[in-house]
Structure 1
Amino acid sequence: MTAAATMTRQIRVLVVDDHPMLREGIMGLLTGCEDMEAVGEASDGREAVAKFTELMPDVTLMDVRMEGMNGVEAIAAIRALSPKAAILVLTTYAGDAAAVRALRAGASGYLLKNCVRTELIDAIRAVHAGRRIFCSDIAHALAEHALDEPLIEREIAILQLIGEGQSNKEIARTMKLSVDTIKASVKTIFEKLDVHDRTHAAMVAVRRGYIER
């Protein structure tokens, strides 16, 4: 058997991020790895789904927050097309709630962008081999809140409006609910997040990735 015949096939990687310089940097990093090949790039979720369908990469690196179709929506769409697709989230957001959403959508791992140079290559190999991978910050956040009662979708929507500065009366009008319902939901939100005021609730929600600012 020749040496060429015994060579392991390269891991084909699709890079999805809305920042061109970051995509360029990651693709340059992959070029330096003998066992990897950057086969394509995309700048948003919709393009990511199209590129995945066209290229069928072994691993997709996926940003979370992008205009239009976001990363979580793209992960779900790709996994619907290919249930065994290996997708590694690469983001700046360390919140446990954001990580849980991505994992539920079908992500194989969650890595912060500040870990790119030290952990990305090994993480790609890990998810390609069928393993889950998290950077230490994400693993710690997931463990810290593992037993917390999660917020439901309506509570998250209310939190988003709190973060925008809306009063209970304004939130009730926006969501077409009674003020008493909003008051009860805000009380439950405070209990779940272990906070005592609206400002702190919004801060914790952003930090954990429940809402965006």
Structure 2
Amino acid sequence: MENPITLLVVDDHPAFRAGLRSMLSEAPNLEVVAEAASVQETLDLHQQHAPDVTLLDLNLKKESGIDAITQLLAIKADTRVIVLSTFDMSEDIHLAFKAGARAYLLKDSSRSEIIQAIEAVYAGERVIPPAIKQRLLEQRSRPALTAKELEILELVVQGRRNKEIAADLGITEFTVKGHLKTVFLKLQVSDRTEAAIKAVSEGLVHLRP
């Protein structure tokens, strides 16, 4: 048998890592060589094991998987990364591919979909499932929101008022209103309720429990 495709699994939930390892171990051409739960562990283990493909979640407790992708590719430009995420936020997808990810899959993808994506990425291909492609098209069809606008929009979705948002972000209420006016124009909505609904339905922000 040819050498298996070696994998690094990055996720801050041990149960998910164990389940993914178990699922992938059933494929004779795949081998999980290491697991990481943080950005630094990812960098260290990637250097130690030099995996063929890295499977990575974007939400690593208080850290961002985007940072991990950026740093991995800064060290080795041909690093192959597949994002495995719970969320199909268009902004997450856009940033992941911009950082250099080769594929973006949801965690509820089937075993065969994940294995096929690994094999395709290992062969040098990019993998963008139809639902993910639709999110990218939605994101590209409108003016991009800035980081500050997204931050304010997420607080709006959480039900925060302008005065509270201003206090949270250390800016004036007038500045918040100015950002929201721009957000409404970009999203083509008329008020904060419509903006919140559109933000969630199009995957612009995470719904916090």
TM-score where L is the length of structure 1: 0.87
Unaligned stretches of 5+ residues in structure 1? 1-6
Shift of residue 179 of structure 1?
3.4
The answer to whether the aligner puts 1:9 opposite 2:9 as a matched pair is no
Q: Retained in 1: the 8 A contact 2:17–2:35?
A: yes
**Root-mean-square deviation over aligned CA pairs:** 2.0
Residue of structure 2 in register with 1:89 after alignment? 83
1:92-138 CA deviation, whole Å, 9 max, x = no partner?
A: 11121110011111111100111142300000011111111022211
Find the partner of 1:54 among 41, 48, 58.
Answer: 48
Shift of residue 58 of structure 1?
0.6
Q: Retained in 2: the 8 A contact 1:48–1:74?
A: yes
**Counterpart of 2:124 in 1: which secondary structure?**
coil
Task: Give me the whole-angstrom Cα distance separating, in 2, the residues matched to 1:69 and 1:55.
Answer: 22
Equivalent residue runs for 1:1-213 within 5 Å: 7-212=1-206, 213=208
176-185 or 67-76, which moves further after superposition?
A: 176-185
1:7-34 CA deviation, whole Å, 9 max, x = no partner?
A: 5321110011122222112112221222
Shift of residue 209 of structure 1?
4.3
Q: Retained in 1: the 8 A contact 2:56–2:81?
A: yes
Unaligned stretches of 5+ residues in structure 2? none
Q: Retained in 2: the 8 A contact 1:149–1:192?
A: yes
Task: Give me the whole-angstrom Cα distance separating, in 1, the residues matched to 2:65 and 2:35.
Answer: 14
52-61 or 159-168, which moves further after superposition?
A: 159-168
Q: Retained in 2: the 8 A contact 1:46–1:69?
A: no
The amino acid of 2:98's aligned partner reads R
Task: Give me the whole-angstrom Cα distance separating, in 1, the residues matched to 2:63 and 2:175.
Answer: 31
Q: 1:116 to 1:18 in 2, by over 3 A?
A: farther
Q: Retained in 2: the 8 A contact 1:90–1:113?
A: yes
1:51-108 CA deviation, whole Å, 9 max, x = no partner?
A: 1122111100001112132211111111111111000000111121110011111111
Q: Retained in 2: the 8 A contact 1:44–1:68?
A: no
Q: Retained in 1: the 8 A contact 2:89–2:202?
A: yes
1:130-157 CA deviation, whole Å, 9 max, x = no partner?
A: 1110222111221233221110122122
Task: Give me the whole-angstrom Cα distance separating, in 2, the residues matched to 1:17 and 1:8.
Answer: 28
Q: Retained in 2: the 8 A contact 1:12–1:58?
A: yes
**Counterpart of 1:182 in 2: which secondary structure?**
helix
